[in-house]
Structure 1
Amino acid sequence: MSTFKLQQFAIKQSVNAMKVCTDSLIFGALTPVENAERVLDIGGGTAILSLMAAQRGAKHITCVELMTASSQEASDNVNNSPWSARISVINCDINNFESDDTFDVIISNPPFFDNHLKNDDNLRNTARHTDTLSYQQLLTKAKALLRDDGVISLLLPVHTIEAINEICNTLQLVITKRCDLITIRGGVAKVTVLEIRNLANGSFAQMPAVNTITVYNAHQQYSEQSARLLKNFLLRFA
């Protein structure tokens, strides 16, 4: 059984197609969830982001996962954690998800590839392609579930930013923060963390300045930036 162990919890990931990776850990450490009352994790997978949010002080997290087997594994990970009472795992299509309450923070590491060739692993394809949840659907649903002053936090490929910005414009949303992740010093960022909010009446939407985080100075040598973000999570910093 594949298990990723962290300082305060462990992630079983034998069923989930998308395993825990450094980018997702950095994203989980960057999401603005400290002491948030209600957090929604769309496409929760192993529940890694939900568990990181709970460790960072979010009071109640709803983790929505489409795939039944992945949802069960997420539930197991939550039930074996210190925060099982604060995280609810729901097995459903986010397009069919309804809530009487809105959310302070909505987080998602959504399907990465749109109109790309697929491999033969159907489970991995579902996790990594936008066929089952387009960016338009994701942002439309997130806006409907977001508090007026809430924030949507997404981990996306850099090449999608223009398309995401166009969708935001149609939905009266605005990208307020952008942080590109450079895997190794001297490289080029392939993924970015975006924060998106409702556009206030009368305000003008403009793209924010680009911040960057270099994850590794060299192979398996964490930068000062990433070590600071991950110091409370990875065993190597315990």
Structure 2
Amino acid sequence: MANHYFKFKAFTVHQEHCAMKVCTDACVQGAFTAQYLEQTHLVPAYILDIGAGTGLLSLMLAQKTEALITAIELDLPAYVQAQQNFSASPWAARLQVASADIREWESGRCFDFIITNPPFYEAALKSNNHQRNQAMHATTLNYRELLLAIQQQLTPTGRFSVLLPYTSFDSFMLQAQQGGYHLQQVLYIRQTPQHDFFRTVGIFGKEVTQTITTTMSIYDEEKAYTPEFVSLLKDYYLYL
């Protein structure tokens, strides 16, 4: 049984009511995105988290930025959980969550940066768990709709971070390019150097530039975290 909470150095994520629990690849996305903002000297005033789940990504970015962060979550139990996690964090004053469908939601503002860990699978076998299917599969939000929502919510000079399966990323990237968004940085993730890549974090913007590509293994041959992983997550993980 999954733990009901995941304790980080600066905050705790309770997750008993969420279909999608805290996972390593989402943690990598949050840390990589925060690092990107720091290295590129981007200082977003307003950040949007689409499909917040537990609120993990919002909390990770709140730790590293001074932005006002709005999270959107369609699933009601996950929305309540994210709200509780935000209220218990050191950054409660800068975090808010809305229970809404991003396709219909009107914020009244545009955002400087968007982060999203969207439903992954557009064509794959589903389980009997409706809540998990909604979180894992593009049953309510496909890639085209996600990109349309991003375009509606993002400022013209804004950028966004997305976490997707490695096998789906090229398809998403082509759709993003058709919408005028170009890959700025990309991180390919694998479990060990002996494994194939299984996740991709991409950061997109309107600017046409040479893509900076990084690869990372989570574990080494001895099943220990790699130095690259430790360097990326050391400000978050409790025992790094």
> Same fold judged by TM-score > 0.5?
yes
**Does the C-alpha gap of structure 1 residues 220 and 65 become closer, same or farther in structure 2, counting only changes over 3 Å?**
farther
Which residue does 1:111 correspond to in 2? 119
Paired residue type of 2:77: A
Q: Deviations over 1:158-178 (max 9, x none)?
A: 111221122123211112221
How far apart are the structure 1 equivalents of 2:111 and 2:63? 18
**Does the C-alpha gap of structure 1 residues 16 and 218 become closer, same or farther in structure 2, counting only changes over 3 Å?**
farther
Unaligned runs of 5+ in 2: none
Q: Which moved more, 1:168-177 or 1:221-230?
A: 168-177
Task: Report percent identity of matched pairs.
Answer: 34
**Does the C-alpha gap of structure 1 residues 58 and 157 become closer, same or farther in structure 2, counting only changes over 3 Å?**
farther
**Residues 112 and 128, structure 1, Cα contact 8 Å, conserved in 2:** yes
1:221 aligned to 224, 228, 234, which one?
224
Which residue does 1:165 correspond to in 2? 173
**Does the C-alpha gap of structure 1 residues 107 and 221 become closer, same or farther in structure 2, counting only changes over 3 Å?**
same
Q: Deviations over 1:28-87 (max 9, x none)?
A: 001144542111000000000000000011421000000011000000000011111000
**Residues 112 and 157, structure 2, Cα contact 8 Å, conserved in 1:** yes
Which residue does 2:100 correspond to in 1? 92
Unaligned runs of 5+ in 1: none
**Residues 39 and 58, structure 1, Cα contact 8 Å, conserved in 2:** no
Which residue does 1:190 correspond to in 2? 198
- Aligned-pair CA distance for 1:10: 0.5
**Does the C-alpha gap of structure 1 residues 58 and 134 become closer, same or farther in structure 2, counting only changes over 3 Å?**
farther
2:46 equivalent to 1:52: no
1:212 aligned to 211, 215, 218, which one?
215
**Does the C-alpha gap of structure 1 residues 218 and 90 become closer, same or farther in structure 2, counting only changes over 3 Å?**
farther
Q: Deviations over 1:88-116 (max 9, x none)?
A: 11000011111222111100011111111
Which residue does 2:20 correspond to in 1? 18
How far apart are the structure 2 equivalents of 1:19 and 1:156? 16
Which residue does 1:234 correspond to in 2? 237
Where 1:95 maps in the other structure, the secondary structure is: coil
Where 1:107 maps in the other structure, the secondary structure is: strand
Q: Deviations over 1:127-160 (max 9, x none)?
A: 0000100011101110121112211100011111
- Give TM-score, length-normalised by structure 1: 0.92
How far apart are the structure 2 equivalents of 1:92 and 1:220? 40
Which residue does 2:82 correspond to in 1? 74
**Residues 33 and 58, structure 1, Cα contact 8 Å, conserved in 2:** no
**Residues 175 and 195, structure 1, Cα contact 8 Å, conserved in 2:** yes
How far apart are the structure 2 equivalents of 1:85 and 1:128? 30
Paired residue type of 1:176: Q
Paired residue type of 1:230: L
**Residues 37 and 60, structure 1, Cα contact 8 Å, conserved in 2:** yes
Q: Which moved more, 1:215-224 or 1:100-109?
A: 215-224
How far apart are the structure 2 equivalents of 1:170 and 1:105? 20
How far apart are the structure 2 equivalents of 1:220 and 1:21? 17
> Deviation above 3 Å: which 4+ runs of structure 1?
32-35
Structure 1 vs Structure 2 CA RMSD: 1.6
How far apart are the structure 2 equivalents of 1:162 and 1:138? 15
Q: How many residues align?
A: 232
**Residues 133 and 139, structure 2, Cα contact 8 Å, conserved in 1:** no
Aligned positions of 1:119-134 closer than 5 A: 119-134=127-142
**Residues 33 and 105, structure 1, Cα contact 8 Å, conserved in 2:** no
